[in-house]
Chain A
Amino acid sequence: MEPKTIIEKIWDKHVVHKEEGSPDLLYIDLHLVHEVTSPQAFEGLRMNNRSVRRPDLTFATMDHNVPTIARHIINDPVSKVQMEKLEENCHEFGVEIADINHPDQGIVHVIGPELGLTQPGKTIVCGDSHTSTHGAFGALAFGIGTSEVEHVLSTQTLWQSRPKTIEIRVNGRLGAGVTAKDLILAVIAKFGVNAGTGAVVEYTGEAIRKMTMEERMTVCNMSIEAGAKAGLISPDETTFSYLKGKRHVPEDFDRAVAEWQGLATDPGATYDEVLEIGADEIEPQVTWGTNPSMGSSVYARVPFPEDYEDPGDQKAIKQALAYMDLKPGTPIQTIDIQYVFIGSCTNSRLSDLRSAADIVRGRKVHEGVTALVVPGSKSVKDAAEAEGLDTIFKEAGFEWREAGCSMCLAMNDDIVPPGERCASTSNRNFEGRQGNGSRTHLVSPAMAAAAAIEGRFTDARKIKPLVV
């Protein structure tokens, strides 16, 4: 048999219908739903008198809009309507929902894996571009628009054109204290925000194999920031042991594992393109611009537009620096910050909070800095509290919040004010993303914690944990 990549294996297994001159009709194994991109889809079903074909393969939660201070205080009436609408829709169409007070509530890309809904070999979609996160398990997972949400709700399928395949090979190992976030930011800085357009990426190499599942999720999460709808990692023992005992995994787990073992890319399989990066040369990253590729090592300086050959790039850099209020040549480590956000589907899992807490323990948030920790789910929050992380953060002067998307996109009340600068563990530094006029610098949880303590960017590896 012809050797295949995991991407081709999952694709081929899910083709329901094929015809000349049309995309493939793919079966969807898991559809995750949230409050912002679904109301118009449910309305479409209602108008056409259609039902949800497989409520048992559909799971909903609330995350984008939810308040993180007190659960019952939703100041924005429009947000409230959107959440109520999701609840109504789920009840009407028989879809299971983890609502705002449910113990399973959380960011959709955090709870899917936690509940064991995310599994190797599945096709997974959600009306959210960071659905690529679930690729960490060797699933083909991608974000879709609301028309496609409606299509999946009523047919459990999607018309999709066969993607190109790209291997991103990460050679060598990451240095001590260099994180999965630093790796993916370095990948995007090196290859650009549209390197993956039209493609699905598979991450391979020693550094990836060594990663925990939570680290792999951070990497796959930002595939979309490199333009790839989906990014995945062939499953291995790390994947299987993470899933063991999770609520929704198959009852006959050993049999499932035996099947999942066949998913990994075959030796000798080829990709349309191979990109390589050396893990050992990556240093902690900080973005300085207005898209995720505009970043560099914490030891670098803000670039000069003239450093770039392409006039289009020069113009983009100029605009970005004007928006970010940064002068070319400024050392990254001299940039002062006023806000710190630790959270989002990229970096809000227990290991992320632990790595930030290691730096924060026994120290104080710098004067003039507002710092938030927003756990990715109720379950992450409970686990963190059980080991006292909340106390570490609160004693240092951080705010400890309820689970949700929060300041990553500032749809709720967690907003960075105009002109203020935020060290953020989220995934997008677009203009206005964290609030109109806000300035976002993307970093790892450790780097965000270090920035909170110092009031400016600094190499988190230099802040040694205190024994308290």
Chain B
Amino acid sequence: MNVDTDQIIPKQFLKRIERKGFGQFLFYNWRFDDDGKPREDFNLNEEQYQHASILVSGKNFGCGSSREHAPWALLDYGFRIIIATSFADIFYNNCVKNGILPIALDQETISELFQKAKDGYELSVDLKKQQVNDGEGLQASFEIDPYWKEMLLNGWDEVSRTLALEDKIKLYEEKQLVGE
């Protein structure tokens, strides 16, 4: 629990000026030892999890720094969905804006996932129906703000969407005398 963004992507890797290429540094200090060799005791390094696209964790995932490098690293590494008991606010926003679906589920379901998530385990996620299902008894529904849902389903460019409301922004600036 309380996995912070300093662990997801340590600060020495925040110096790049691109959005790409962060996956190799994901959970760097947990994945690699001081000599840069993979640590055997970190579960992401296990063979069975090599091509996983869903990450499961505990409460308050993504707390701490606002660095968007965290979802960039998760995405670049191959994760599309993160399931946790709860998420930190800024991290949640950052995920959605990068096409990662954060799903909050209750502790019981998460515990079940931890037990079941072994070699070959598959979980399907239906964003439209807001449901997860493993076809072998685990089924749960999740909440998502309708706006974020539409955004994820349609891959909106949020800036374009907002710029379509430019008249309203102008009107606000005139009315409030912004910058006067």
**In the complex where A56-B179, A194-B86, A430-B4 touch, is A155 in contact with B162 (Cβ < 8 A)?**
yes
Q: Which residues on A sit within 8 Å (CB–CB) of B166?
A: 155
Q: Which residues on A sit within 8 Å (CB–CB) of B64?
A: 129, 224, 428, 430
- Write the chain B residue with the least CB distance to A13: B176
- Asked if A82 is at the interface (CB within 8 A of a chain B CB), the reply is yes
* Residues of chain B from 1 to 33 with CB closer than 8 A to chain A in the complex: 1-2, 4, 6-7, 10-12, 14-19, 29
Please measure, in the bound complex, the distance between the C-alpha atom of A143 and the C-alpha atom of B14, giving whole angstroms.
17
Partner of A418, one of B34, B90, B159: B34
Partner of A197, one of B18, B66, B86, B146: B86
| Contact A82–B15 (Cβ < 8 Å) | yes
| Contact A227–B12 (Cβ < 8 Å) | no
- Asked if B94 is at the interface (CB within 8 A of a chain A CB), the reply is yes
Q: Which residues on A sit within 8 Å (CB–CB) of B168?
A: 16-17, 25
Q: Mark B57-94, 1 if CB is under 8 A from A, else 0.
A: 01110011111100100000000000000111110011
Please measure, in the bound complex, the distance between the C-alpha atom of A23 and the C-alpha atom of B93, giving whole angstroms.
12
| Contact B60–A431 (Cβ < 8 Å) | no
| Contact A428–B98 (Cβ < 8 Å) | no
Partner of B60, one of A13, A56, A128, A193: A193
| Contact B90–A40 (Cβ < 8 Å) | no
Please measure, in the bound complex, the distance between the C-alpha atom of A178 and the C-alpha atom of B64, giving whole angstroms.
26
| Contact B90–A129 (Cβ < 8 Å) | yes
| Contact A39–B58 (Cβ < 8 Å) | no
- Asked if A218 is at the interface (CB within 8 A of a chain B CB), the reply is no
Please measure, in the bound complex, the distance between the C-alpha atom of A143 and the C-alpha atom of B91, giving whole angstroms.
10
| Contact A229–B89 (Cβ < 8 Å) | yes
Partner of B146, one of A21, A193, A227: A21
| Contact B90–A23 (Cβ < 8 Å) | no
| Contact B2–A159 (Cβ < 8 Å) | no
Q: Which residues on A sit within 8 Å (CB–CB) of B18?
A: 40, 43
Please measure, in the bound complex, the distance between the C-alpha atom of A458 and the C-alpha atom of B2, giving whole angstroms.
29
| Contact A27–B34 (Cβ < 8 Å) | no
CB distance from A407 to the nearest CB of B (A): 11
**In the complex where A22-B146, A194-B60 touch, is A431 in contact with B162 (Cβ < 8 A)?**
no
Please measure, in the bound complex, the distance between the C-alpha atom of A226 and the C-alpha atom of B165, giving whole angstroms.
35
CB distance from B179 to the nearest CB of A (A): 5
| Contact B169–A291 (Cβ < 8 Å) | no
Partner of B17, one of A85, A128, A197: A85
Q: Which residues on A sit within 8 Å (CB–CB) of B7?
A: 430-432
Which one of A145-153, A329-337, A365-373 contacts B?
A: A145-153
Q: Which residues on B sit within 8 Å (CB–CB) of A44?
A: 159
Partner of A22, one of B68, B147, B173: B147
Q: Mark A189-203, 1 if CB is under 8 A from B, else 0.
A: 000011001100000
CB distance from A109 to the nearest CB of B (A): 13
Partner of B2, one of A56, A128, A193: A193
| Contact A81–B17 (Cβ < 8 Å) | yes
**In the complex where A227-B63, A428-B64, A430-B6 touch, is A411 in contact with B179 (Cβ < 8 A)?**
no
**In the complex where A194-B86, A312-B58 touch, is A37 in contact with B67 (Cβ < 8 A)?**
yes
- Asked if A156 is at the interface (CB within 8 A of a chain B CB), the reply is yes
* Residues of chain A from 279 to 298 with CB closer than 8 A to chain B in the complex: 291
Please measure, in the bound complex, the distance between the C-alpha atom of A85 and the C-alpha atom of B15, giving whole angstroms.
11
Q: Mark B141-180, 1 if CB is under 8 A from A, else 0.
A: 0000111000000000011001101101100110010110
| Contact B163–A154 (Cβ < 8 Å) | yes
| Contact A147–B17 (Cβ < 8 Å) | no
- Asked if B97 is at the interface (CB within 8 A of a chain A CB), the reply is yes
| Contact B163–A155 (Cβ < 8 Å) | yes
- Asked if A270 is at the interface (CB within 8 A of a chain B CB), the reply is no
Q: Which residues on A sit within 8 Å (CB–CB) of B34?
A: 418, 436-437
| Contact A78–B63 (Cβ < 8 Å) | no
Partner of A157, one of B11, B16, B89, B169: B169
| Contact A159–B66 (Cβ < 8 Å) | no
- Asked if A277 is at the interface (CB within 8 A of a chain B CB), the reply is no
Q: Which residues on B sit within 8 Å (CB–CB) of A142?
A: 90
| Contact B63–A157 (Cβ < 8 Å) | no
Partner of A25, one of B29, B88, B97, B165: B165
- Asked if A54 is at the interface (CB within 8 A of a chain B CB), the reply is yes
| Contact A144–B66 (Cβ < 8 Å) | yes
- Asked if A171 is at the interface (CB within 8 A of a chain B CB), the reply is no
**In the complex where A23-B145, A194-B86 touch, is A148 in contact with B15 (Cβ < 8 A)?**
no
**In the complex where A312-B58, A410-B11, A432-B29 touch, is A151 in contact with B65 (Cβ < 8 A)?**
no
Residues of B within 8 A of A (CB): 1-2, 4, 6-7, 10-12, 14-19, 29, 34, 58-60, 63-68, 71, 86-90, 93-94, 97-98, 145-147, 158-159, 162-163, 165-166, 168-169, 172-173, 176, 178-179
A–B complex contacts, Cβ < 8 Å, 26 sampled:
A16-B169, A23-B145, A27-B172, A27-B176, A27-B178, A37-B67, A40-B68, A76-B15, A78-B16, A127-B68, A128-B65, A129-B65, A143-B66, A144-B66, A145-B71, A145-B97, A146-B19, A155-B163, A193-B60, A194-B60, A194-B63, A229-B90, A430-B7, A432-B10, A432-B29, A433-B6
Which 10 A/B pairs are nearest by Cβ-Cβ distance? Answer: A145-B68, A145-B94, A39-B17, A147-B97, A143-B66, A146-B68, A78-B15, A129-B66, A194-B60, A22-B147
Residues of A within 8 A of B (CB): 13, 16-17, 21-23, 25, 27, 29, 36-37, 39-40, 43-44, 48, 50, 53-54, 56-57, 64-65, 76, 78-79, 81-82, 85, 127-129, 142-148, 150-151, 154-157, 159, 161, 193-194, 197-198, 224, 227, 229, 291, 312, 316, 409-411, 418, 428, 430-433, 436-437
